[in-house]
Structure 1
């Protein structure tokens, strides 16, 4: 064999050997080997944390395995950074939070933070929030520490797929600082009368795709907080709940702009709102721009298309003072179906900074088998195509 042949064989042998060494040394840490009982009663949180620490520090790519079964866990935090990519594999596993709110001292149940290239695959996360929703003392105050099911913070370049979150005491999934990440095939469930159970809350991130998911809650299916940028949502079914909501914005000083939200090919059924932008009156200044709601089917939605710059749910606002949140470059296109309220399009913009460049195109929303109506305040939308109802002039 000539020299080139020997070199090719040597390179091939080196590649195969490297793959075998990497595979053999990749860490797969089963929480059962770290003391998890899986009886649904014992607190398996410490075992999950021990497994996480080993997997996070292990040779990449590493995995934390939660095998099929039912586990109970008190609040836990799984921190990074890690040696390399990490996967949490929980297919067939159900993890339950304790139902008692008194067992929580912080506003999170499971927190994962500061990891690059995290994957979470599978798992049912049951917040057991039924008793919390009934607790009157927490409904109108921010003093209670009501935990989010999954608080995912600064998990860049990550993938969250095939996850189910049910009956969260508060938000189901809160994504903050998770740049360039994906959410796929997520199922989120809570009854329509559950309190503050937003399906997915997004804030301070740049680059997120949410696809092929089903969300039914007692609050927003997906809510966009400050600093939400370049978010693409497709094939998401929402209902019950409060729809897809940008905001509320302007409550606090120095909020970051919201820009580049693209929501397409979704359905909204039996929700209080459809697609909504909301800000507080007498607000701090912030901007909302480059928003696209397109190709959406609504069934029995009370407020299908809504801009509300007088949002004041707790009656503690100065409604006479205009919002300083500037809304511009918004598109409502190809939205069709049925409205449960007579007013299908309501654009309530700020008298101080009126909405600019709002387009309403090819809307077909009926009410009780007949035409619906529209209302506009401090907004002069650009009207394109055929629209039912007529937009603020018919």
Structure 2
């Protein structure tokens, strides 16, 4: 997997350094790289000064392990800010400290954050307290996310690692024009709700050339996401790349323009998936999605549209069909192996059948006894092009 910052980013970065008038090392502000002394105030002061600088500023976090409590990098800043993360930021374990997240970036235009350093959420203790899988409603409380980017514009996040988050590793909300390039996200496959990147209410987001393995979705896509591109991502372990779940709440808005290409899924629960709630309150649309040039290796459910999504497994059979409308979805050149016999599982809404579904060169083998199968329910006139295996939807 490539881990090289694109040439245009390097050109921009070196130009940025050449014109920078302030360089800040957090050790000069009292940060201690021993992993035990609290360095939160030092890092916060470094950010405040960089954000207030009249010209471009850069913050260096050198080698070492820095214990950091909840911290807010808040703008707007007077000039763009670069953070060069070389060392490791370590989260405190006490959940009572977080209200609710760990590292947050807010209202910033022109952020560069690059590695090769790490953020370590130290999530193992929190995972044992997470009861969301046992009871989706009453016992599911928010835990701290490693990094939150809210109302951030024109940012480049590259070559950093996020490990062992207590909850989602990264959240992107209300943001635009952000590129995540050559990042690594890692948590054990059984760690609950440790989604790699969750993106919602955002546009023009790119995730590329990265390795993501967690206990939940590698990338999850929420409502009002427009023009999202995911490419060159290796996903596994985890639940795959998911659009949704959608349609549960009244205020949700359309998801438009998602491209997932040149990705691989290894030992994941799902591959590419769209999921919407039954009995939902909102008639939003999900449209213009492309999934192409994808390799599946021992994936339980490689291709999924699930408009009867029910994570608690206790939903009654008499719920209203999903009111989310799915249309113009292309699955192109998806090959590999499935660990379940149903390699293609398209279950759309009875009241809002899927339209404009295209299957083009699909070759999925069942890793077991018998042939792979496809299920297509409430899919209106699917378009099948070339070799499609399994071919039950033809």
Please confirm whether the aligned pair reaches a TM-score higher than 0.5, indicating the same fold: yes
Q: Which residue is 1:111 aligned to?
A: 104
Verify the 8 A CA contact 1:213 1:235 in the aligned structure 2: yes
Give me the whole-angstrom Cα distance separating, in 1, the residues matched to 2:23 and 2:131: 44
Q: Which residue is 2:357 aligned to?
A: 358
Cα 1:387–1:250 change in 2 (3 A) is same
**What secondary structure, in the 3-state scheme, does the structure 2 residue paired with 1:313 have?**
coil
Give me the whole-angstrom Cα distance separating, in 2, the residues matched to 1:116 and 1:353: 40
Deviation at 1:316, TM superposition (A): 6.0
**What secondary structure, in the 3-state scheme, does the structure 1 residue paired with 2:152 have?**
strand
Verify the 8 A CA contact 1:118 1:158 in the aligned structure 2: yes
Deviation at 1:227, TM superposition (A): 1.0
Q: How does 1:178-197 map to 2 (within 5 A)?
A: 178-197=175-194
* 5+ long unaligned stretches in structure 2: 1-14
Over aligned residues, Cα RMSD in angstroms? 1.7
Q: How does 1:233-312 map to 2 (within 5 A)?
A: 233-283=230-280, 284-312=282-310
- Higher mean alpha-carbon deviation, 371-380 vs 302-311, is at 371-380
Deviation at 1:181, TM superposition (A): 1.5
**What secondary structure, in the 3-state scheme, does the structure 2 residue paired with 1:309 have?**
strand
- Count how many residue pairs are aligned between Structure 1 and Structure 2: 371
| 1:33 counterpart = 2:28 | yes
Q: Deviations over 1:145-199 (max 9, x none)?
A: 4011000111101100001000001000111122111110000000110000100
Of residues 38, 45, 49, the one that matches 2:40 is 45
Verify the 8 A CA contact 1:133 1:194 in the aligned structure 2: yes
Q: Deviations over 1:95-144 (max 9, x none)?
A: 1111232332x221100111111000112011111111112545534653
Q: Which residue is 2:118 aligned to?
A: 124
The TM-score normalised by the length of structure 1 is 0.91
Give me the whole-angstrom Cα distance separating, in 1, the residues matched to 2:195 and 2:345: 23
Which structure would you say has the larger Rg? 1
Structure with the bigger RCO (C-alpha within 8 Å, sep 6+) is 2
Give me the whole-angstrom Cα distance separating, in 2, the residues matched to 1:347 and 1:365: 15
Deviation at 1:207, TM superposition (A): 0.4
| 1:228 counterpart = 2:225 | yes
Verify the 8 A CA contact 1:280 1:317 in the aligned structure 2: no
| 1:148 counterpart = 2:145 | yes
* 5+ long unaligned stretches in structure 1: 1-19
Verify the 8 A CA contact 2:39 2:68 in the aligned structure 1: yes
Verify the 8 A CA contact 2:20 2:58 in the aligned structure 1: no
Q: Which residue is 2:11 aligned to?
A: none
The TM-score normalised by the length of structure 2 is 0.91
Give me the whole-angstrom Cα distance separating, in 2, the residues matched to 1:368 and 1:219: 23
**What secondary structure, in the 3-state scheme, does the structure 2 residue paired with 1:32 have?**
helix
**What secondary structure, in the 3-state scheme, does the structure 2 residue paired with 1:54 have?**
helix
Q: Which residue is 1:204 aligned to?
A: 201
Cα 1:136–1:180 change in 2 (3 A) is closer
Deviation at 1:391, TM superposition (A): 3.2
| 1:349 counterpart = 2:348 | yes
- Higher mean alpha-carbon deviation, 139-148 vs 278-287, is at 139-148
**What secondary structure, in the 3-state scheme, does the structure 2 residue paired with 1:391 have?**
coil
